[in-house]
Amino acid sequence: MRKFGVFIVVLLGLLVNSCKLESKQTKEKETIESVSIDLNDIVKRGKIRVVTDYNSTNYFVYKGRPLGYQLELLQALSNTLGLKLEIIVSNDVDKNFNSLLAGEVDLIATNLTVTRNRGHKVAFTEHHCVTRQVLVQQTQSNDPNTSYDKEIIRNQLDLGGKTIYVQENSSYVNRLRNLSNEIGDSINIVEIPDYEVEQLIALVASGEIPYTVCDENLAKINLNFYDNIDIETAVSFPQKIGWAVRPNSIDLKDVVDNWLINFKKTNQYKRIYRKYFINKRSTHLVNSTFHSIKGGKISAYDAIIKEESKRFNFDWRLVAALIYQESRFLPEVESWAGAIGLMQLMPQTAASFGVKEITSPQDNIQGGLKFLIWLNKRFEKVIEDPEERLKFVLASYNVGPGHVEDAMRLAEKNNKNPHIWEDNVDYYLLNKSKPSFYNDPVVKYGYCRGEEPFHYVTDILERYTHYKNVIVD
């Protein structure tokens, strides 16, 4: 059944290719204008919006933790700029270019090969690495009835007449077209929509397609997952891999260029590159059940989290993000303050919500969700927007509703909005450890170590966003 589905995808790819070539060439002649958004606008916004692709190297979740080569680079960049990082996920190259030019994102952070044709649309940053494109083929066929050639191709001249399947609108398409001219023979290039590079490598390994092309550093990673693929035949010279910004984002490009030039010299960059492209100890992660690509599980308790979240009308990924923050999915962990279990319930809180066995994952999650519902009801009359209210609920789950309500009263007293979290109530909760704040007459619950709930809310919501990006609901 799987092979039939792949056949349909491949057939559609062939039909789409033949039909759209003329319109594609017409579009390339059009002048593409982009909106005018530069560094000052991004700084005023307070966050940089970046699109990256979801695969086993650039961006994924492992055991509840967001990871990836591109993600770690972007986190280092955003920390340097003092900006929040908003990640958007898309493996569609054309869509990413359009989103950039339309101002929906500020930066494309994928493995973009720096080419002259693409340089007419976007401005490339300083490259973050150098690699070359290689042919991915089987070392031997798993299927004795396959019609694909079994002889390994080593000479690029032997690609004449062959069919190679590549990601639609990728740099591999242009490289193969140029290579076809260079060898003086036709190469049948099939662009596959909706399939990412690693998915095509998997199809080569299973014998469902004969060849694909990808960057060598990514190909080397996939050698650890498939013992029957060959990646030794290069189809390009070494090429620069970079990010892209809008052509008129001059200041942003200058800042990112300077940062990359300096960052590549650091031990931090070397550690990140080794972690994802060289260190074989990291490659076992992809075959794990708890890798978002292969296993698709966040934790060993996903089934219970889903079941209980559905009962109480919560997005299970939000609950999982909270549990990771509280216990790292360890059901018998106990905090210094006496909180116990996956959702770190205090014994008295657990008792008040009918939790029978506090270390039981199911009972603990039920109690935690009942507590969240109770907190939500406490705030819903004064904060109508459910997304905004969630921030108050999360902070209260961590530190108690009394301290959050103190921060709301402080905000109102100081002409801030007591019903808005960011840059309003969160500021007063953050500073509630200072005498000038907790001794204020409107404060009822006294001292609070406000830094913890301040970061608690941010961390959970960021993790929740990552889960939504890569984990199916």
- Residues 139, 117 share a domain: no
Mean pLDDT score, 383-393: 97
Residue 169 in this model has a pLDDT that exceeds 90:
no
What spatial distance separates the first Cα and last Cα of the chain, rounded to whole Å? 25
pLDDT at 134 over 90: yes
- Supply the pLDDT for residue 14: 47
Q: Is the domain of 311 the same as that of 460?
A: yes
**Whole domain around residue 101: which residue ranges?**
31-129+240-287
Residue 70: closest CA among 111, 29, 37: 111
C-alpha 403/C-alpha 396 separation (Å) is 8
Confidence of residue 473 (pLDDT cuts 50, 70, 90): confident
Which own/partner pairs from 94-98 qualify as long-range (CB within 8 Å, at least 24 positions apart)? 94/168, 94/169, 96/51, 97/121, 97/122, 97/244
Q: How much is the pLDDT for 338?
A: 94
CB neighbour class for 461 (10 Å; exposed up to 12, middle 13-18, buried from 19): middle
Question: Which CATH number do you get for residue 184?
Answer: 3.40.190.10
CB atoms < 10 A from the CB of 296, how many? 14
Q: Is residue 187 part of a domain?
A: yes
Whether residues 257 and 228 share a domain: the answer is: no
CATH at 342: 1.10.530.10
Q: Is residue 438 part of a domain?
A: yes
Phi, psi torsion values for 86, nearest 5 degrees: -110, 120
Distance CA 46, CA 84 (A): 6
Residues 53 and 112 in one domain: yes
Q: Which of 326, 357, 380, 384 is catalytic?
A: 326
Q: Are residues 147 and 226 in the same domain?
A: yes
Q: Is residue 368 part of a domain?
A: yes
Q: Are residues 246 and 257 in the same domain?
A: yes
Residue 410 domain flag: yes
Nearest residue to 198 (alpha-carbon basis) of 176, 166, 228, 171? 166
Q: Are residues 140 and 81 in the same domain?
A: no
pLDDT above 50: residue 115: yes
Residue 438 to residue 424: CA distance in whole angstroms: 16
Say if residue 17's pLDDT is above 60. Answer: no
Strand-pairing partners, residue 165, are 190
Model confidence pLDDT, tens digit, residues 261-310: 999 999 999 999 999 888 765 555 555 667 777 667 899 999 999 999 99
Q: What angle do CA 439, 442, 446 make, to 5 degrees?
A: 40
Q: Helix crossing, 302-311 with 361-380: angle to 10°?
A: 40
Query: Could you tell me if 262 and 326 lie in one domain?
Result: no
Six-digit token string for 121: 């649309």
Boundary residue ending a domain (201, 216, 237): 237
Q: Using N-to-C axis directions, what is the helix angle for 451-470 and 386-399, rounded to 10°?
A: 130
Classify residue 116: in a domain, yes or no. Answer: yes
Number of structural domains (the chain) is 3
**Amino acid identity of 53?**
D
6 falls within a domain? no
Q: Do residues 244 and 169 share a domain?
A: no
**So what's the pLDDT on residue 27?**
44
CA 181 from centroid of its chain's CA atoms: 37
Domain membership of residue 8 (yes or no) is no
Q: Is the domain of 332 the same as that of 436? A: yes
Residue 265 domain-assigned (yes or no): yes
How many other β-carbons are positioned within 10 Å of the β-carbon of residue 120? Answer: 11
* Pairing mode of beta strands 84-89, 188-192: unpaired
Do 233 and 245 fall within a single domain? no
Residue whose token pair is 């299927």: 143
Q: Can you tell me the distance from the alpha carbon of 168 to that of 150, in angstroms, rounded to the nearest whole number?
A: 26
How many angstroms separate the CA atoms of 357 and 210, rounded?
56
Residue 41 in 3-state DSSP? helix
| Section 339-343 average pLDDT | 96
Residues 434 and 352 in one domain: yes
Residue 16, pLDDT score:
45
From 287, 316, 349, the end of a domain falls on: 287
Residue 208 falls in the annotated catalytic set: no
Average pLDDT score over residue span 49-70: 92
